[in-house]
């Protein structure tokens, strides 16, 4: 038995069932969208007659577009207790009436309806209104700084008049595309006065300050000689503890020069400045070829590549950051026309990474005055799902982000022995994918350092050939450390990066007791295959981690993932696990098949997230509820749409 209450401008009026001509069509629905939390909804159109007709028409004629009315529906149990089922304001903008019936729509003012309508609306907020009391100490990335050099000639004629000598090959300083991110350590220059071995074109570098991690050189070239034999050596002169030192960069003479063949020279990591020694002043280098041949030999050097480089980082900066739940509640307030009343929560305990996550606006990284963050509920929700496997569970005026698996309970709540005709099993083709894309949108950096970035998109082949669809788990919030580094490096510069200034980032950071600021989380993550392995952060948010966070869901349609490609650095290893390994998925959340039945069994499971078992033809279908609906006025049974977990 149901009770209907019509509230006109705050005054409640109990109306009979016959005051609602379509009372037998009013239904209730419990539906799970996108495999997140189940949402309750009701009919949206009412047809009023009799007493209700007169009350509503009088309210409209009296207050016109300011008319105010709402409908509430209760169910009366056998013990005469009243249970609230549904309530909604009525939309006088949809009013229609004739001589006997007034037609009007209900306004779904629930939080679920607000989110559905406004989830894609982008809002902007001042970071100063949302930021944590303590900022993030951004202690920078070690960056590779490189000087590239070339030679001014590729052919040399050995001096005549002697059969054995040492030949100096002049190397002219040609600064070809240098990339110096952290300067004030070295500078190349020409100097004829006191040039090493009298070579006026030698490569010289002044050490302005000692690079804390040393100075190194990579060199490769192909050498041929027209006759005889010889060896190749790179020599230097530098100051060590204030005392001149002469030696060879590449150790002993490198033999192998022989007439008629090409000598391939390729050395990496040659030490020019040892960081453990007190070296300063100048470094001069000359390329020497030791020959045992007759005069007039031709020496050809081709494919010459030389780079001198060091690692260094810039000064730390403080950056304002925002906690995820603070941003969530601000979004809810915006969607509620700046009114309080909606609450957002996050179950941090189910993912230790989430409890150490803070959000950073690109404008905050830039250090801009009046920095703003730009986002939407959809972006926030998609980020939570992709990175952590969290989805929204919406009830009444609260939304709680939970681990998706926590919304699929393992207990059996209801068993139905079904013999009816409305039994149908169907493969849900929308859950079948041939390709999986996970990670983050590719960013373009104007820096060689950016080649190390691995927070981009990885692609995996599912092995499925019956479709060409791709499942994309791409985070709208960025996690690329180099992207943050390059933005922070623009502080104090009057420039605008239209492609990134509106972006939002997130980082793993913790605030220790009595600490002055948040610190980046690096402990517990050993990273290799990257230049700045000691200072890289956000390793816990790699593309592979996204699969781990969603493995039960992804495993519902595929058992194994074969790595196909990456738009970033695919050579990365985190805690000795390669990012480009294939992945096996062994614990699916459900299958891709659905089961539909209509049953006269009206007992609605008290836990709609629990399992429902259906017996049919000696088979047991164990399922989760996708949707159930029933009429509350004229009961005709319950329609179930179920996601099959197993058949036994």
The verdict on 305 and 324 lying in the same domain is: no
Query: pLDDT higher for 209 or 534?
Result: 534
For 401, counting Cβ atoms within 10 Å of its Cβ (0-12 exposed, 13-18 middle, 19+ buried), the class is: buried
State both tokens at 111: 């939080």
Q: Is residue 486 part of a domain?
A: yes
Q: Is residue 636 part of a domain?
A: no
pLDDT category of residue 226 using cuts at 50, 70 and 90: confident
For residue 497, pLDDT beyond 60: no
For residue 159, pLDDT beyond 70: no
pLDDT score, position 187: 77
pLDDT score, position 344: 98
- List the one residue out of 233, 280, 284, 238 whose CA is nearest residue 256: 233
- List the one residue out of 78, 36, 92 whose CA is nearest residue 384: 36
The verdict on 459 and 346 lying in the same domain is: yes
Task: Give residue 501's Cα distance to chain centre.
Answer: 17
What string of H, E and C letters represents the secondary structure of 25-84?
A: HCEEEEEECCCCCEEEEECCEEEECHHHHHHHHHHHHHHHHHCCEEEEEEEECCCCCEEE
Task: Pick the last residue of a domain from 263, 294, 312.
Answer: 312
For residue 407, pLDDT beyond 70: yes
Q: Return d(Cα 6, Cα 11) in angstroms, integer.
A: 8
Q: Residue range 261-275: average pLDDT?
A: 86
The verdict on 485 and 367 lying in the same domain is: yes
For residue 366, pLDDT beyond 70: yes
The verdict on 156 and 208 lying in the same domain is: yes
The verdict on 335 and 382 lying in the same domain is: yes
Biggest CA-to-CA distance, the chain? 124
The verdict on 167 and 257 lying in the same domain is: yes
- Give the helix/strand (H/E) hosting 255: strand 254-258
DSSP string, 69-108: EEEEEEEE-TT--EEEEEEEEEEEEEEEE-SS-EEEEEE-
**Residue 17 domain boundaries:** 2-109
Q: Return d(Cα 305, Cα 302) in angstroms, integer.
A: 9
Among the residue ranges 231-245, 355-369, 413-427, the one predicted with the least confidence is 231-245
What string of H, E and C letters represents the secondary structure of 174-243?
A: CCCCCECCCCCCEEEECCCCCCHHHCCCCEEEEECCCCCCCEEEEEEEEEEECCCEEEEEEEEEEEECCE
Give residue for tokens 């990175």.
Answer: 387
Q: Which of the 8 DSSP states describes residue 642?
A: E
pLDDT category of residue 196 using cuts at 50, 70 and 90: very low
Give residue for tokens 């959000």.
Answer: 359
State both tokens at 268: 């990496």
The verdict on 218 and 184 lying in the same domain is: yes
Q: Return d(Cα 204, Cα 648) in angstroms, integer.
A: 78
Percent of the chain past pLDDT 70, that is, above it, reads 87
pLDDT score, position 611: 98
Q: Return d(Cα 331, Cα 322) in angstroms, integer.
A: 13
The verdict on 329 and 399 lying in the same domain is: yes
What's the residue count for the chain?
A: 648
Task: Give residue 200's Cα distance to chain centre.
Answer: 53
Q: Residue range 613-626: average pLDDT?
A: 97
CA-CA-CA-CA dihedral for 56, 57, 59, 61, to nearest 10: 170
- Give the helix/strand (H/E) hosting 471: strand 470-475
How many of the other CB atoms lie within 10 Å of CB of 301?
21
Indicate the pairing of strand 638-647 with strand 593-599.
Answer: antiparallel
Q: Is residue 426 part of a domain?
A: no
Say if residues 74 and 439 touch (Cβ distance below 8 Å): no
Strands (E), 293-433: 298-312, 317-319, 343-346, 357-361, 372-375, 390-395, 398-403, 412-417, 424-427
The verdict on 275 and 344 lying in the same domain is: no
Q: Is residue 604 part of a domain?
A: no
pLDDT score, position 22: 92
The verdict on 291 and 365 lying in the same domain is: no
Q: Return d(Cα 161, Cα 296) in angstroms, integer.
A: 9
For residue 193, pLDDT beyond 50: no
pLDDT score, position 289: 59
Among the residue ranges 9-18, 84-93, 225-234, 554-563, the one predicted with the least confidence is 225-234
* pLDDT tens by residue, 103-147: 999 887 788 888 999 999 999 999 999 999 999 999 999 999 998
Residues paired with 620 in a beta bridge:
615
Find the distance separating the first CA and the last CA of the chain, reported in whole Å. 39
CA 521 vs CA 317, 359, 485: distances in Å: 16, 14, 16
CA 203 vs CA 180, 213, 265: distances in Å: 17, 21, 19
Residue 380 backbone phi and psi in degrees, to 5: -65, -45
- List the one residue out of 112, 94, 114 whose CA is nearest residue 104: 94
State both tokens at 385: 């799902």
pLDDT score, position 164: 44
Task: Pick the last residue of a domain from 548, 574, 607.
Answer: 548
Query: pLDDT higher for 152 or 509?
Result: 509
Query: SS3 for 573?
Result: strand
State both tokens at 400: 């709680």
Say if residues 390 and 351 touch (Cβ distance below 8 Å): yes
State both tokens at 103: 């037609």
The verdict on 150 and 205 lying in the same domain is: yes
For residue 171, pLDDT beyond 90: no
* pLDDT tens by residue, 590-612: 999 999 999 987 778 889 999 99
Q: Return d(Cα 47, Cα 53) in angstroms, integer.
A: 9
The verdict on 192 and 330 lying in the same domain is: no
Among the residue ranges 233-242, 266-275, 409-418, 497-506, the one predicted with the least confidence is 233-242
- List the one residue out of 284, 254, 274, 258 whose CA is nearest residue 266: 254
Residues paired with 10 in a beta bridge:
none
Q: Is residue 328 part of a domain?
A: yes
Strands (E), 259-297: 263-273, 279-292
Q: Residue range 584-588: average pLDDT?
A: 96
Q: Return d(Cα 122, Cα 350) in angstroms, integer.
A: 28
Q: Is residue 496 part of a domain?
A: yes
Q: Which residues in 186-211 are b (16+ Cβ under 10 Å) and which e? A: bebeeeeeebbeebebbbbbebeebb
Residues paired with 86 in a beta bridge:
73
State both tokens at 3: 């009770």
Q: Return d(Cα 577, Cα 483) in angstroms, integer.
A: 24
Residues paired with 239 in a beta bridge:
244, 280
Query: pLDDT higher for 298 or 100?
Result: 100
Phi-psi region at 162: left, alpha or beta (left = phi > 0; alpha = psi -120 to 50):
beta
Instruction: Give this prediction's pTM.
Output: 0.86
Residues paired with 319 in a beta bridge:
136
Q: Is residue 262 part of a domain?
A: yes
For residue 498, pLDDT beyond 60: no
* pLDDT tens by residue, 20-68: 999 888 888 899 989 999 988 887 789 999 999 999 999 999 999 899 9
Q: Is residue 455 part of a domain?
A: yes
Q: Residue range 79-84: average pLDDT?
A: 80
Task: Pick the last residue of a domain from 548, 564, 593.
Answer: 548
Q: Return d(Cα 234, Cα 169) in angstroms, integer.
A: 10
**Domains in the chain, number:** 3
CA 291 vs CA 197, 231, 232: distances in Å: 18, 7, 9
* pLDDT tens by residue, 373-388: 999 999 999 999 999 9
Q: Which CATH number characterizes residue 170's domain?
A: 2.60.120.660
Output the average pLDDT for the chain.
88
């Amino acid at each position: 038995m149901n009770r209907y209450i019509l509230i006109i401008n705050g005054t409640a009026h109990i109306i009979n069932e016959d005051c609602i001509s379509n009372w037998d069509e009013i239904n209730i629905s419990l539906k799970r969208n996108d495999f997140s939390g189940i949402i309750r909804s009701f009919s949206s159109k009412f047809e009023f007659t009799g007493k209700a007709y007169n009350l509503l028409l009088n309210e409209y004629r009296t207050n016109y577009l300011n008319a105010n009315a709402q409908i509430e529906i209760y169910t009366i149990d056998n013990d005469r207790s009243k249970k609230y089922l549904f309530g909604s304001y009525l939309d006088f903008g949809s009013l229609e009436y004739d001589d006997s019936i007034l037609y009007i729509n209900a306004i779904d003012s629930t939080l679920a309806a607000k989110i559905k309508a406004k989830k894609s609306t982008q809002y902007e907020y001042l970071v100063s209104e949302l930021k944590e009391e303590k900022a993030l100490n951004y202690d920078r990335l070690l960056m590779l700084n490189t000087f590239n050099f070339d030679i001014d000639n590729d052919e040399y004629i050995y001096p005549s008049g002697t059969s054995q000598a040492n030949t100096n090959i002049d190397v002219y300083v040609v600064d070809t595309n240098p990339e110096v991110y952290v300067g004030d350590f070295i500078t190349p220059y020409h100097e004829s006065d006191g040039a090493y071995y009298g070579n006026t074109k030698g490569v010289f570098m002044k050490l302005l300050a000692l690079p804390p991690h040393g100075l190194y050189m990579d060199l490769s070239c192909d050498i041929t000689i027209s006759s005889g034999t010889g060896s190749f050596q790179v020599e230097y002169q530098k100051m060590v503890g204030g005392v001149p030192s002469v030696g060879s960069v590449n150790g002993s003479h490198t033999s192998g020069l022989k007439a008629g063949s090409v000598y391939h020279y390729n050395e990496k990591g040659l030490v020019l400045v040892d960081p453990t020694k007190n070296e300063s002043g100048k470094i001069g280098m000359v390329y020497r070829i030791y020959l045992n041949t007759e005069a007039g030999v031709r020496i050809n050097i081709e494919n010459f590549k030389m780079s001198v480089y060091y690692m260094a980082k810039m000064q730390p900066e403080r950056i304002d950051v925002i906690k995820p739940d603070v941003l969530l509640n601000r979004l809810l307030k915006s969607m509620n026309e700046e009114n309080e009343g909606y609450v957002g929560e996050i179950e941090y305990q189910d993912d230790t990474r989430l409890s150490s996550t803070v959000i950073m606006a690109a404008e905050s990284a830039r250090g801009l005055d009046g920095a703003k963050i730009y986002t939407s509920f959809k972006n926030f929700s998609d980020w939570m799902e992709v990175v952590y496997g969290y989805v929204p569970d919406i009830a009444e005026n609260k939304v709680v982000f939970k681990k998706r698996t926590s919304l699929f309970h393992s207990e059996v709540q209801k068993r139905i022995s079904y013999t009816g005709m409305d039994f149908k099993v169907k493969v849900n083709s929308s859950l079948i994918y041939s390709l999986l894309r996970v990670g983050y949108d590719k960013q373009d950096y104007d820096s060689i350092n950016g080649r190390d970035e691995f927070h981009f998109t990885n692609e995996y082949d599912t092995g499925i050939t019956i479709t060409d669809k791709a499942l994309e788990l791409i985070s709208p919030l960025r996690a690329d450390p180099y992207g943050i580094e390059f933005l922070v490096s623009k502080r104090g510069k009057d420039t605008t990066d239209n492609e990134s200034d509106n972006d939002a980032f997130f980082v793993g950071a913790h605030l220790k007791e009595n600490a002055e600021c948040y610190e980046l989380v690096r402990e517990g993550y050993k990273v290799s295959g990257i230049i700045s392995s000691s200072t890289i952060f956000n390793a816990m948010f790699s593309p592979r981690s996204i699969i781990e966070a969603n493995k039960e869901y992804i495993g519902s349609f595929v058992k194994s993932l074969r790595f196909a490609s990456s738009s970033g650095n695919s050579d990365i290893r985190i805690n000795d696990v390669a990012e480009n390994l294939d992945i096996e998925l062994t614990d699916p959340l459900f299958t891709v098949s659905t089961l539909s039945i209509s049953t006269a069994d009206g007992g609605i499971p008290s836990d709609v997230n629990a399992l429902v078992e259906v017996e049919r033809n000696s088979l047991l279908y164990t399922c989760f509820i996708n949707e159930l609906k029933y009429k509350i006025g004229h009961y005709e049974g319950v329609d179930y749409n179920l996601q099959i977990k197993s058949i036994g």
